[in-house]
Amino acid sequence: MFLQRNFLSLALAAGVLGLASCNKGGDFSKTKSGIEYQVFKSTGGGKYDSREVGAEGDATYKDRVGKIMALHVEYRTAKDSILFNSRKQQFGYPVRVPLDSVRKEQRGGLEEAISLLQPGDSAVFRFNVDSIFAKSFRQPVPPFMKKAGATMTMFVKVDKVQTREEAMADVQKMQAELPQKMQAHAKQQIKTDDVELQAYIKKNNLTVQKDTSGVYYAVTIPGTGAKPKAGQLVSVLYKGSLLKNGKVFDSSEKMGNKPFDFVLGQGQVIPGWDVGIAQFAKGAKGFLLVPSSLAYGQRGAGADIPADAILRFDVELVDVKNAPPAPASQQPNAADIQRQLEELQRQQQGK
């Protein structure tokens, strides 16, 4: 369900930066497990030369086991559609991957590919899509990936290899900096989005209202009763589409025509829904026009919602009722921070 705020649908997600230029169209080498690869070492001045990898892998990898690799990655489908790019969608921050010994069952997966890389390397890896999802993501291949073709390509630029303590310090620094970066981007982007939204409204001759947050909404069929309040459980039928081209990325119909339930005003959905659904009474139908900063922002969501995408939702508020009591909240502690890297690793493995 795209409305829930899980931005990393493919995990080890992060991005590259002009790394595609390293793929000069030459032949790929292949590991015994079937990974196709091209590895490049920097020669300075933005230039790279091919680096050979031994038949048994990189002999120096044993010296990096137990450390953390910071790297940028970009995933592409067989049709060259970009799935994720960290420099754009992670605000330039790298992914940090714990380096462990590669087990037999991981041969042919992301873990083996990462083990071939040294600090400063750039690389292009091409995987069989069935194999990579089974070995590294531990989930079935999504239909859109199957439709795109039999392979998935990963472009990589290694930033550095760190001790665990060094990586934790960088993660904490990132956590401190990220909110300000996101806020600055959102502030600028909402102005850009509003120009596009007003053009869309004018072109389609729509009658809408605008919330102070920047969400546009229209109630086309009035409901009955009072509007829902924050803390109440609401049930919504919906169809979500990209404003740019009208492509439907999610809908209740795809979910068996079952309403989506969430507690209003608790951050369980994108901010545009918390704002927009609050404008509808029970039984009302209409639509929301949500600027990207109140949807999935610069990160986007998987292959269906690109970065900085403005969204339209056609909605019906089916029901409103009091939510069940929430479980007692737990205060964060030092262990939460210490588990940050483990959580990143679990996300990267698709768990």
Query: How far apart are alpha carbons 73 and 154 in whole angstroms?
Result: 7
Q: Is 313 a residue of the active site?
A: yes
Question: Active site residue: 35, 270, 277, 305, which one?
Answer: 270
Q: What is the pLDDT of residue 298?
A: 76
227 contacts 280 by C-beta, under 8 angstroms: yes
Question: Active site residue: 121, 170, 250, 308, which one?
Answer: 250
Question: Active site residue: 238, 260, 262, 287, which one?
Answer: 238
Q: Running DSSP on this structure, what letter comes out for residue 106?
A: G
Which of 121, 122, 139 shows the shortest CA–CA distance to 130? 139
Question: Active site residue: 296, 305, 308, 310, which one?
Answer: 296
Q: Is 270 a residue of the active site?
A: yes
Q: What is the pLDDT of residue 312?
A: 97
Counting runs of H as helices and runs of E as strands, what totals does the chain give? Answer: 8, 15
Question: Active site residue: 48, 75, 287, 313, which one?
Answer: 313
Q: Running DSSP on this structure, what letter comes out for residue 305?
A: B
Q: Is 63 a residue of the active site?
A: no
Q: What is the pLDDT of residue 307?
A: 83
Query: How far apart are alpha carbons 123 and 121 in whole angstroms?
Result: 7
Q: Name the region of 180 (left: φ>0; alpha: ψ -120 to 50; beta: rest).
A: alpha
Q: At what angle do helices 164-203 and 340-348 cross, to 10 degrees?
A: 60
Q: What is the pLDDT of residue 27?
A: 83
User: Is residue 315 helix, strand or coil?
Assistant: strand
Q: Is 200 a residue of the active site?
A: no
Residue whose entry in the numeric block shows the structure tokens 């690799």: 69
Query: How far apart are alpha carbons 320 and 227 in whole angstroms?
Result: 9
- Say whether pTM exceeds 0.85: no
- Domains, the chain: 19-162 (3.10.50.40), 194-322 (3.10.50.40)
Q: What is the pLDDT of residue 215?
A: 96
Q: Is 7 a residue of the active site?
A: no
Q: What is the pLDDT of residue 126?
A: 94
Q: Is 310 a residue of the active site?
A: no
Q: What is the pLDDT of residue 186?
A: 80
Question: Active site residue: 249, 261, 304, 319, which one?
Answer: 249
Tens-digit pLDDT string for the chain (351 aa) = 444 433 223 333 333 333 333 344 458 999 988 899 999 988 887 778 888 888 788 999 999 999 999 999 998 888 888 887 877 777 788 989 999 999 988 888 999 999 999 998 999 999 999 988 888 888 888 887 888 899 999 999 999 999 999 999 999 999 898 888 878 888 888 899 999 999 999 999 999 999 999 999 999 999 987 899 999 999 999 999 999 999 999 999 988 889 999 999 999 999 999 999 999 999 999 999 999 989 988 777 866 888 889 999 999 999 999 877 655 544 444 444 344 444 444 444 343
Q: What is the pLDDT of residue 87?
A: 79
How many Cβ atoms are within 10 Å of 8's Cβ, its own excluded?
19
Q: What is the pLDDT of residue 326?
A: 57
